[in-house]
Structure 1
Amino acid sequence: MLPTTFDLPVPCFFNVFHNPSDFLKLERQLMKVPFEIFSEIARARQRIIEKEMDNFVDSIAEATQKNMSETDALNHLGSLLSRLEELKMKIMENNSRQEMELEIIMKRLNHLQVLQFGGKEIEAKWKQMHVDRILVDYMLKSDCFDAALKLAEGSDIQELVDVKIFLDAKRVIQGLRNRNCSEALAWCAENESKLDNSQDSFEFKLRVQEIVEFLRNHQLEDAVNYAQEYLVPWGDQYKEDVEKVMVAFAFDNCAKCDSCKMLFDLNKWDALIGKFKMEFMRLHGITQEPSLIYHLTAGFICLKTLGCLDRECPIEDPLFEDDIRQLGARLPFWPHRRTKLVCYITKELMTLYNPPLILPNGYAYSKKQIRRSYMGYNFSKNILVQNQTCHDCCKA
C-alpha cells in the first residue's frame, strides 16, 4: 500500500509546464545530490592543502634548526619540491572532479529550465525522460543496480540520475550481505566528519558486529584485542551497549545465552544494511522513499473521491477495480465527490453553467470558450455534443 501522509505538494504530472513552481518542489534531490558531492570535493581539497602545507612548514622549520651540509640541504629541498609536486597533482585531480560535478549541475539546471522555457515540441520527450528518471530512482533504492544502469544508458539520462553514487553504495551493501564490515568501515572513515553528529552511530554498530563475529567463530583473543582498540573509545557515549557486549565474553556458548541472543541474531546484518541506506541517503540529501511512491500517492489522492465508493461508480473510473482501489486504501479522499474539470484554454472550472463540450477531434473545452472562439458559426448536433457527466468527458 501507499503511505498515509507525505509533505510534498500534489501536482498534476501532465500539467508541469503550466505549474512549474509546484512541480519543482519534487526536484530537490535532482540538484541536492550533485551539489553535496561538489561541496564535499571542495572540503576535501581544503583539508589536503591545509595538512600538506602544515607539514611543509614544519619540515622547513625543522631543517633550519639543523646544521646541514650543502648536499643534505639540497636533498632536503628536493624532497620538499617533490612533495609540492604531489600536492599539485592532487589539487589538479580534485579540480577535474569538481569540473565534472559542475557540468552535471549545469546539465540538470538546463533540464529543469525546460519547465519554464520549453516548447510543446520537446514536452513529450521531457515527460518520457522524467518517467525514466522516476523508474531509475525506484530501481536504485530497490537494489536493482544493473537494471537501473541499463535503463539510464538506454534513455541517455546518466547525468540526470544518481547511478554513480549508488554503485559506490553497492559495494558496502554487498559486503554487509556477505557478513563483512570492512567496506562499511572504510565508508565511515571517508565520511567521518558528517557521521559524528549522528545520535545512533552506524560505525559503533559495525564495531559491535565485528566483535560478535569473532565470538561466533570462537576467536576470543581476537575479540578482546579488537574490543580494547575499537570499542573502549565508545564506552562513555554508549555505556549500556558496551556493557551488553562485555557480558558476551563471560559465556563459553554466548550465542545461546538469553542475555546475548539479540547480539547474535543474524537479522542484525539486515538491520545494518537498512541503517547504512538511511545514513547514505541522509548524507547525500536523497529522499528515503522512491519518488515513484510520491507521484503515485499524489495521483491516487487526486483520483480517490467519495464517488469511488458509490454503487453506481462507472467502469471508466480508474478506481473501479478493487485491486487498484486497495493500493490507496490508507490515503485520504480528495475533498470533492467528483473530479473537477478545468478548461485547458480559459483555466476556468467547467460546471453546470459552463459545461464541457467535446469536439469531433475528441478534445473537451468549456462551452464559454467554444462560443467565444467560434462566435457567428452554427454547429449541428453531429459536430458539437454537450456532455452531461464528468466520466464521459474523462473518456476524451
Structure 2
Amino acid sequence: MASHESSAIKHNDHLLLDQPLLRLPNELLRKNFRSAHFVIERDTSALKNLLKESATAAVSGRASQQDYAGEEARLHEHTAARIQHLDDLYGINTVEDVKYESWSRKRLDRLIADYFLRNGFHESAKQLAKERNMERLVDVETFESMGRIRLALLGGSVTEALAWCAENKKELRKMECKLEFMLRLQQYIELIRAGTQPKLVEAITHAKKHLIPYRSQHPREVAQACGLLALPPNSRNSEDCYADLYRPRWTELADLFTTTHNQLLSLPSVPLLHIALSSGLSALKTPACHASTTNQGVVPFAPTIRTTTAPRTTASAPSARQSSTTSPSMCPTPITPTATSSPTWSCSPPGRPAASSASSTRPRRPAFPRARSRTR
C-alpha cells in the first residue's frame, strides 16, 4: 500500500513547472487582441473621414487585420495542443506506467528547447522541436524576437528596444518599468559623448522631450543628466562625478530588457531546466532516506580502548608495560560495555575476577618500589 502511494502521480505538483506553457500563448493572444483592436479603431476613424483616407492606407489596414487574424488562429492551435499535452498527464496514475516515461521525455525535450532559446541557440531549438514533433509546444518566434532586440542593444542600438516599448507602452506603465527611461537616457548620453555642437543642441531637445517628463519618477537621474551638459566626457571632473553614466552600459540595458520581457509575458527569470534541476537535486534520496535494515555482523559502534600512561620510574624498576607484555600470568580481560559507560580494558591475573563496580573503570596502579631520594 505504501509503495503504491509513493508511486502515484501528483498531477497538480507536475503542473507547477508547466505554468508558462499556457501563460505565454495567453499573453500573446492578449497582445494580439490589443493590436488588432487598435487597427480596427484606426480604420473606423478613417472611415468617418473619407476625404482624408487614401487607397493605400485602406489596403494596408486590411492586410494588417488579416495578419492579426492569422496570428490569432496560430495561437489558438498552440493553446489547444498544449492543453492536450497536459491533459495526457491526467490519464496516467503511476510512475510505473509506460506512458509516463514518454510524457516525461517530451517534457524534458521542451525544457532543453527552452534553455536553447533563452541562450540564443535558436537553430538548435528549432531542430530539436522538429525532430520531436513538438513545434506547437515551443515558442520559437517569441524568443527569436527577444534575441534580435537583445543583440541590437549589445551592439549599441536602442531603436528596436524603443519600438518594443512603444508597442507595450500601457503594460509597461502599469508595471512601473524604467526600461524606456533608461533607453532614452542612454540616447542622451551618446549625443553628449559625440561632443559636437549640433549633437549638443540635439541632446538638449531630446532631454526636454523624453527626460524631463520623468523628473518626478527619477529626479536624481534627470538632475545628473542635466549636469552632463556642463561636464563632457573629456573634462577633468567628469570621471569623478559622472563616471557611472559615461561608462559602457549596454550589457546592463540588455539584461534589463530581458527581465522586463519575461515579466511582461509571465515567464520565469531563469530557464525552466534550471528550476527542474534544482528541485530534483534537492529531492534526491540519500542513503539516510532508505529503509533502515539491521545487517548481521555489523557492530553499531566500535569500542575504544582507554590507555593510561605509567608513572616514570628508575632504570632498576620494571615498567608496567614491560610487566604486562613479558609476564605470562597477566592477560587482558575485556569488560562487557554497557549503555551508560564506555568500554574499557582491565588487566587482572588469571583466576581473579574482573572488577564490575565503578572502580573497574579505573586501572589498578601497580606497586613499584619507591625510589630512594638522593641526598648529598
Shorter chain as normaliser: what TM range?
0.5 to 0.7
Match for 2:66: what amino acid? M
Q: Which amino acid aligns with 1:95?
A: A
Are the counterparts in 2 of residues 104 and 159 from structure 1 also a CA contact under 8 Å? yes
Do structure 1's residue 227 and structure 2's residue 218 form an aligned pair?
A: no
8 Å CA contact 2:9, 2:92 repeated in 1 = no
Question: Residues 20 and 267 of structure 2 are in contact (CA less than 8 Å); yes or no, is this contact kept in structure 1?
Answer: yes
Aligned AA for 1:168?
S
Equivalent-residue separation in structure 1 for 2:190 and 2:54 (angstroms): 45
Give the C-alpha shift of residue 146 in structure 1: 3.1
Could you tell me how far apart the structure 2 residues matched to 1:36 and 1:198 are? 15
Which residue of the partner structure matches residue 39 of structure 2? 48
- Work out the percentage of aligned pairs sharing the same amino acid: 25
Structure 1 gap segments, 5+ residues each: 1-13, 61-75, 308-336, 341-350, 354-396
Alpha-carbon distance in 2 for matches of 1:186, 1:143 = 21
The answer to whether 1:107 aligns with 2:81 is yes
Normalization by structure 1: what TM-score? Answer: 0.64
* Aligned residue number for residue 306 of structure 2: none
Q: Quote how far apart the aligned CAs of 1:118 are.
A: 5.6
Which of these residues, 6, 21, 41, is aligned with residue 30 of structure 1? 21
In structure 2, distance between residues paired with 1:31 and 1:40: 15
3-state SS of 1:26 partner: coil
How big is each residue's C-alpha offset from its partner over 1:49-91, in whole Å with a ceiling of 9 and x where there is no partner? Answer: 223223433x26xxxxxxxxxxxxxxx59x5888666544433
Could you tell me whether the CA contact under 8 Å between 1:251 and 1:257 is conserved in 2?
no
User: Retained in 1: the 8 A contact 2:231–2:238?
Assistant: no
- Relative to the length of structure 2, the TM-score reads 0.68
- Give the distance between the partners of 1:110 and 1:297, measured in 2 at CA: 27
Q: Which residue of 2 aligns with 1:97?
A: 71
What do residues 339-373 of structure 1 show as CA deviations (whole Å, max 9, x unaligned)?
46xxxxxxxxxx879xxxxxxxxxxxxxxxxxxxx
- SS of equivalent residue, structure 1 residue 303: coil
SS at match of 1:251: coil
Superposition deviation, residue 220 in structure 1:
2.2
Aligned partner of 1:338 among 289, 299, 315? 289
- Superposed counterparts of 1:120-131, under 5 Å: 120=97, 122-131=99-108
- Structure 1 range deviating more: 235-244 or 17-26: 17-26
Report the counterpart of residue 250 of structure 2 in structure 1.
269
Greater Cα radius of gyration, structure 1 or 2 = 2
| Correspondence 1:185 to 2:162 | yes
Matches within 5 A, 1:222-301: 222-252=202-232, 253=234, 256-266=238-248, 268-301=249-282
Q: Answer 1 or 2: higher relative contact order, Cα 8 Å, separation at least 6.
A: 1
Offset of 1:279 from its aligned partner?
0.6
Residue identity in the other structure for 2:218: Y
8 A contact 2:32–2:72 mirrored in 1: yes
1:318-337 deviation line (CA, Å, top 9, x unaligned)? xxxxxxxxxxxxxxxxxxx3
- 8 Å Cα contact 1:56/1:80 also seen in 2: no
Residues 177 and 260 of structure 2 are in contact (CA less than 8 Å); yes or no, is this contact kept in structure 1?
A: no
Secondary structure (helix, strand or coil) at the match of 2:16 reads helix
Distance 2:14 2:240 in 1: 53
Check 1:270–1:221 CA distance in 2 against 1; reply closer, same or farther (3 A cut). Answer: same
Task: Compute the displacement of 1:200 (Å).
Answer: 4.0
Equivalent runs, 1:1-396 vs 2, <5 Å: 18-57=9-48, 59=49, 76=51, 87-117=61-91, 120=97, 122-218=99-195, 219-252=199-232, 253=234, 256-266=238-248, 268-303=249-284, 305=286, 307=287, 337-339=288-290
**1:128 to 1:242, Cα distance in 2 relative to 1, 3 A:** same
**Deviation digits for residues 105-155 of structure 1, max 9, x if unmatched?**
001111111102269554433222211111111222223333323322332
CA RMSD of aligned residues (A): 2.8
**Alpha-carbon spacing, 1:303–1:203, altered in 2? closer, same or farther (3 Å):** same
Query: Contact between 1:303 and 1:339, CA under 8 Å: does it hold in 2?
Result: no
Structure 1 pair 234/159, CA: closer, same or farther in 2 (3 Å)? same
